């Protein structure tokens, strides 16, 4: 009887061990994707289950080794598509122990690596993400303008939402938001660059992901006067449609000011020379808060004005979902020092708008509307020392509720100078009237 009991115990132990091994080896590496950006690369490992992993770097030559515990694969990584300037190849190497899948990323140069796992999100399953950053290149900020140039271009940063492993919303026929918005963003870029006195800077130029904080940094490093983020809306039902324009909410604005105040080394990025003084004077934090408040107020006022102009032009080429600019806590709109707007070009979840958003002519009409709205603002309010400010008189279209005194205050000129420039005999003006605004 004892022998039978021992035999049964041995069988149970064996079954437990075999079950444990099956679970341990259950994770399958189903795919590997490489998304290359100019100064970074994202490698995504598609897995059947959440990964358990360790990693370490090696030199001579430079490598990043990733060990996936309880994983296996039948993939042939020698045929992996790779256009990265940082990664030579991804290969499988001899595992340190049974049941471990060892992956080696052969690198061109030493890079900063950040690894994290992501849960299933349509259209993807479990993923292990490896972000490689060439920090030596990315820390170098290019200076597009020559030191001797006195007059500068108005710089518009154009942000195509999502990208790479982040497809954004997906339309009924399978069209990805990331693809549509990049096509529209490139058309806006072309129109900005074709405008004398204006220059566009793209946060991404291809199908790769850019961190949301990095998008603001690209705009700031380029000394952008405006950040325009291009997206396509989506909803759980196919009925909603129409374009909208969003600006930063006051709640998000105040929380961002607080965050910036906590990082004194960032003050000089926002406040120039004043920041250098403040960051060395701990007891004058209230001054930093006042200056940041002023900077945010100015940026938000400009954002609202541009949003109005862009929305007005969008209404001429497509249906509007919202007829007034909306406020939200979008991360890409968080910079207190850069006027920013987010343009939802339409609902990609709507069958009709998905079809429109994929058409070149409609994309071009959307791009024209965005460009016209941005141009209208900067023609009326060109930055100091810009080429646009040197063009001569500005033009203003009278809006509902505006008077000569209101318009004069906006442009910092006198009522008399406006009347003289437009040969006005009285202070009476009408909605839609075009006024020449003289330079102060």
pLDDT digits (tens, 9 = 90+) for 209-236: 998 878 888 998 899 999 999 999 998 8
Q: Which helix (H) or strand (E) holds 341?
A: strand 340-347
pLDDT of residue 393: 59
pLDDT of residue 336: 65
**Bridge-partner residues for 231, per DSSP?**
344
| Predicted structure pTM score | 0.67
Is 287 within 8 Å of 278 (Cβ atoms)?
yes
pLDDT of residue 13: 53
How far apart are the C-alpha atoms of 44 and 32, rounded to whole Å? 6
How far apart are the C-alpha atoms of 237 and 175, rounded to whole Å? 16
pLDDT of residue 299: 79
How far apart are the C-alpha atoms of 89 and 62, rounded to whole Å? 12
Is 57 within 8 Å of 64 (Cβ atoms)?
yes
CB atoms within 10 A of CB 204: 23
Which tokens belong to 317?
């080429």
pLDDT of residue 130: 94
* DSSP track, 95-144: -SSTTEEEEEEEESS--EEEEEEE--BTTB-EEEEEEEE-HHHHTPPP--
pLDDT of residue 406: 86
What domains sit in the chain, N to C, each tagged with a CATH number? Answer: 23-138 (2.60.40.3500), 154-251+292-380 (3.40.630.40), 392-437 (3.10.350.10)
pLDDT of residue 7: 56
How far apart are the C-alpha atoms of 315 and 320, rounded to whole Å? 6
10 Å CB burial of residue 51 (0-12, 13-18, 19+) is buried
How far apart are the C-alpha atoms of 56 and 64, rounded to whole Å? 6
Q: Which residues contact 174 (CB under 8 A, 6 or more apart)?
A: none
Task: Tell me which residues of the chain have a pLDDT lower than 50.
Answer: 2, 17-24, 137-149, 252-254, 256-258, 260-291
pLDDT of residue 388: 82
Is 140 within 8 Å of 134 (Cβ atoms)?
no
Q: Which residues contact 100 (CB under 8 A, 6 or more apart)?
A: 67, 68, 69, 70, 71
Q: Is the peptide bond before 123 cis (omega within 30 degrees of 0)?
A: yes
DSSP 86: S
Is 348 within 8 Å of 170 (Cβ atoms)?
yes
pLDDT of residue 135: 61
pLDDT of residue 16: 52
């Amino acid at each position: 009887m004892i022998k039978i009991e021992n035999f049964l115990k041995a069988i149970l132990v064996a079954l437990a061990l075999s079950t444990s091994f099956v679970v341990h080896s259950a994770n399958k590496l189903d795919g590997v994707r490489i998304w290359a950006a100019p100064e970074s690369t994202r490698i995504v490992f598609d897995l059947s289950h959440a990964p358990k992993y360790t990693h370490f770097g090696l030199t001579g030559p430079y490598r990043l080794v990733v060990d996936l515990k309880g994983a296996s694969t039948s993939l042939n990584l020698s045929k992996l598509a790779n256009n990265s300037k940082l990664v030579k190849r991804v290969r499988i190497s001899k595992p340190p122990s049974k049941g471990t899948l060892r992956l080696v990323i052969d690198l061109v140069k030493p890079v900063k690596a950040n690894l994290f796992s992501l849960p299933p999100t349509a259209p993807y399953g479990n993923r292990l993400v490896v972000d490689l950053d060439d920090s030596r290149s990315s820390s170098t900020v290019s200076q597009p303008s020559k030191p001797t140039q006195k007059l500068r271009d108005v710089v518009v940063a154009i942000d195509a939402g999502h990208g790479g492993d982040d497809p954004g919303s997906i339309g009924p026929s399978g069209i990805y938001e990331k693809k549509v918005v990049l096509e529209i963003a490139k058309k806006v870029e072309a129109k900005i660059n074709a405008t004398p006195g204006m220059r566009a800077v793209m946060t991404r130029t291809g199908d790769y992901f850019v961190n949301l904080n990095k998008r603001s940094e690209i705009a700031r490093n380029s000394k952008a006067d405006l950040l325009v983020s291009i997206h396509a809306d989506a909803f759980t039902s196919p009925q909603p449609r129409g374009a909208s324009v969003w600006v930063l909410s006051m709640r998000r604005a105040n929380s961002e000011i607080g965050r910036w105040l906590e990082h004194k080394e960032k003050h000089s990025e926002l406040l120039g020379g004043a920041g250098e003084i403040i960051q060395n004077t701990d007891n004058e934090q209230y001054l930093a808060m006042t200056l940041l408040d002023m900077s945010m107020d100015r940026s938000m006022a400009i954002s609202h004005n541009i949003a109005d102009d862009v929305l007005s032009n969008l209404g001429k080429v497509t249906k509007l979902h919202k007829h007034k600019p909306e406020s939200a806590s979008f991360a890409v709109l968080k910079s207190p020092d850069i006027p920013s707007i987010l343009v939802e070009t339409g609902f990609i979840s709507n069958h009709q708008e998905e079809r429109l958003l994929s058409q070149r002519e409609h994309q071009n009409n959307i791009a024209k509307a965005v460009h016209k709205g941005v141009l209208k603002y900067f023609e009326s309010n060109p930055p100091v020392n810009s080429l646009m400010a040197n063009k001569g008189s500005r033009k203003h279209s009278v809006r509902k509720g505006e008077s000569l005194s209101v318009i004069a205050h906006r442009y910092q000129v006198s009522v008399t100078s406006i009347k003289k420039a437009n040969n006005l005999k009285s202070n009476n003006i009408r909605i839609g009237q075009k006024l020449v605004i003289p330079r102060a």
